[in-house]
Structure 1
Amino acid sequence: MTDVIYSINGPVVTVRDTKSFEMAEMVYVGVKRLVGEVIGVTDRATTIQVYEVTTGLRVGEPVTGSGSPLSALLGPGILGNIFDGIERPLGDIARRTGAFIPAGISVDSLDFDKPWQVTLTVKPGDRVKGGDIFATCPETSVITHKSMVPPDVAGEVVFAAADGAHTLRDALCRVKLADGSERELTLAQRWPIRRPRPAAQREPIGRPLITGQRVIDTLFPIAKGGAAAIPGGFGTGKTMTQHQLAKWCDADIIVYVGCGERGNEMTQVLEEFGELVDPKSGKPMTERTVLIANTSNMPVAAREASIYTGVTLAEYYRDMGYDVAMMADSTSRWAEALREISGRLEEMPAEEGFPAYLPSRLAEFYERAGCTENLNGSSGSVTLIGAVSPQGSDFSEPVTQNTKRFVRCFLALDKALAYARHYPAINWTISYSEYYEDLDPWYIKNVGPEFCALRGRLLSLLSEESKLMEIVKLIGSDVLPDSQKLTIEIARAIRTGFLQQNAFHKDDTYVPLVKQMKMMEVILYLQKTGAALVAEGIPMRALLETGLFERLVKMKYDVPNDRPELFQGYYTEIDDAAKRLRAEHIA
Structure 2
Amino acid sequence: MNVTGKIYGINGPIITILGNLGFKMSEMVYVGEHRLVGEVIGLTKEQTTIQVFEETTGLRPGELVEGAGRALCVTLAPGIITNIFDGIERPLQLIGQQSGAYIPRGVNVDLLDREKKWDTKITVKKGDILTAGMIIAEVPETPAIVHKVMVPPGMEGTVISVSEDGSYTIEETLAVIRNRAGEEQKLTMTQKWPIRVPRPIQRRYPADRLLVTGQRILDTLFPIAKGGTAAIPGGFGTGKTMTQHQLAKWSDADIIIYIGCGERGNEMTNVLEEFSRLVDPKTGNLLMDRTTLIANTSNMPVAAREASIYTGLTLAEYYRDMGYHVAIMADSTSRWAEALRELSGRLEEMPAEEGFPAYLASRLSAFYERAGYVENLNGTDGSVTIIGAVSPQGGDFSEPVTQNTKRFVRCFLALDKSLAYARHYPAINWLTSYTEYLNDLEGWYGANAGADFIPCRNELLNILTTESRLNEIVKLIGSDVLPDDQKLILEIARVIRLGFLQQNAFHEEDTFVPLEKQLRMMKVILYLYDKCKELIEMGMPMALLRENRIFEKIIAIKYDVANKDLYKFDEYRQMIDEFYRSLLETNA
| TM-score range normalised by the length of the shorter chain | over 0.9
Residue 241 of structure 1 aligns with which residue?
243
Q: Distance in 2 between matches of 1:10 and 1:271?
A: 32
- Is 1:256 the equivalent of 2:252? no
Task: Give 2:580's aligned amino acid.
Answer: A
Deviations 1:514-571 (A, max 9, x none): 1111110010001000000000001100001110110111110000111000111111
Residue 47 of structure 2 aligns with which residue?
45
Residue 512 of structure 1 aligns with which residue?
514
Residue in structure 1 matching 2:271, options 269, 275, 282? 269
- Counting only pairs closer than 5 Å after superposition, residues 442-457 of structure 1 correspond to structure 2 as 442-457=444-459
Residue 501 of structure 1 aligns with which residue?
503
Task: Give 2:417's aligned amino acid.
Answer: K
| Number of equivalences | 586
Residue in structure 2 matching 1:67, options 63, 66, 69? 69
Residue 210 of structure 1 aligns with which residue?
212
Residue 560 of structure 2 aligns with which residue?
558
Residue in structure 2 matching 1:488, options 487, 490, 498? 490
Residue 14 of structure 1 aligns with which residue?
16
Q: Distance in 2 between matches of 1:279 and 1:238?
A: 22
1:502 is displaced (CA, Å) by 0.6
Task: Give 1:200's aligned amino acid.
Answer: Q
3-state SS of the aligned residue for 1:310?
helix
Task: Give 2:187's aligned amino acid.
Answer: L
Q: Distance in 2 between matches of 1:246 and 1:320?
A: 20
Residue 196 of structure 1 aligns with which residue?
198
Residue in structure 1 matching 2:373, options 364, 371, 374? 371
Residue 541 of structure 1 aligns with which residue?
543
Residue 578 of structure 2 aligns with which residue?
576
- Counting only pairs closer than 5 Å after superposition, residues 424-435 of structure 1 correspond to structure 2 as 424-435=426-437
Root-mean-square deviation (CA), in Å?
Answer: 0.8
Residue in structure 2 matching 1:397, options 393, 396, 399? 399
Q: Distance in 2 between matches of 1:279 and 1:341?
A: 42
TM-score by length of 1: 0.99
3-state SS of the aligned residue for 1:564?
coil
Q: Are the equivalent residues in 1 in contact too, given 2:7–2:16 (CA < 8 A)?
A: yes
1:133 is displaced (CA, Å) by 0.6
290-299 vs 181-190, which deviates more?
181-190
Q: Are the equivalent residues in 2 in contact too, given 1:3–1:18 (CA < 8 A)?
A: no
Q: Distance in 2 between matches of 1:440 and 1:546?
A: 38
Task: Give 2:79's aligned amino acid.
Answer: G
Residue 181 of structure 1 aligns with which residue?
183
Task: Give 2:539's aligned amino acid.
Answer: G
Q: Distance in 2 between matches of 1:56 and 1:482?
A: 74
TM-score by length of 2: 0.99
Residue in structure 1 matching 2:350, options 330, 348, 356? 348
1:206 is displaced (CA, Å) by 1.5
Q: Distance in 2 between matches of 1:539 and 1:148?
A: 69
1:219 is displaced (CA, Å) by 0.4
Q: Are the equivalent residues in 2 in contact too, given 1:119–1:164 (CA < 8 A)?
A: yes
Task: Give 2:86's aligned amino acid.
Answer: D
Q: Are the equivalent residues in 1 in contact too, given 2:4–2:67 (CA < 8 A)?
A: no
Residue in structure 2 matching 1:130, options 129, 132, 151? 132
Q: Distance in 1 between matches of 2:14 and 2:572?
A: 65
Residue 357 of structure 1 aligns with which residue?
359
3-state SS of the aligned residue for 1:162?
coil
3-state SS of the aligned residue for 1:483?
helix
Q: Are the equivalent residues in 1 in contact too, given 2:20–2:43 (CA < 8 A)?
A: no
1:196 is displaced (CA, Å) by 0.2
1:577 is displaced (CA, Å) by 1.1
Q: Are the equivalent residues in 1 in contact too, given 2:195–2:310 (CA < 8 A)?
A: yes
1:20 is displaced (CA, Å) by 2.5
Q: Are the equivalent residues in 2 in contact too, given 1:84–1:294 (CA < 8 A)?
A: yes
Residue 324 of structure 2 aligns with which residue?
322
- Is 1:388 the equivalent of 2:400? no
Q: Distance in 2 between matches of 1:206 and 1:337?
A: 34
Task: Give 1:408's aligned amino acid.
Answer: R
Deviations 1:251-284 (A, max 9, x none): 0000000000011111111111111111111111
Deviations 1:277-308 (A, max 9, x none): 11111111100000000000100100000000
Task: Give 2:363's aligned amino acid.
Answer: R
Q: Distance in 2 between matches of 1:147 and 1:57?
A: 41
Q: Distance in 1 between matches of 2:225 and 2:569?
A: 29
Q: Are the equivalent residues in 2 in contact too, given 1:258–1:266 (CA < 8 A)?
A: yes
Gaps of 5+ in 2: none
Q: Distance in 2 between matches of 1:169 and 1:257?
A: 27
Task: Give 1:534's aligned amino acid.
Answer: I
3-state SS of the aligned residue for 1:279?
coil
Residue in structure 2 matching 1:227, options 226, 229, 244? 229
Q: Are the equivalent residues in 1 in contact too, given 2:341–2:357 (CA < 8 A)?
A: yes
Q: Distance in 2 between matches of 1:443 and 1:496?
A: 24
Gaps of 5+ in 1: none
1:177 is displaced (CA, Å) by 1.4
Q: Distance in 1 between matches of 2:532 and 2:318?
A: 54
1:2 is displaced (CA, Å) by 4.8
Q: Are the equivalent residues in 1 in contact too, given 2:26–2:41 (CA < 8 A)?
A: yes
Residue 25 of structure 1 aligns with which residue?
27
Residue 121 of structure 2 aligns with which residue?
119
Residue 87 of structure 2 aligns with which residue?
85
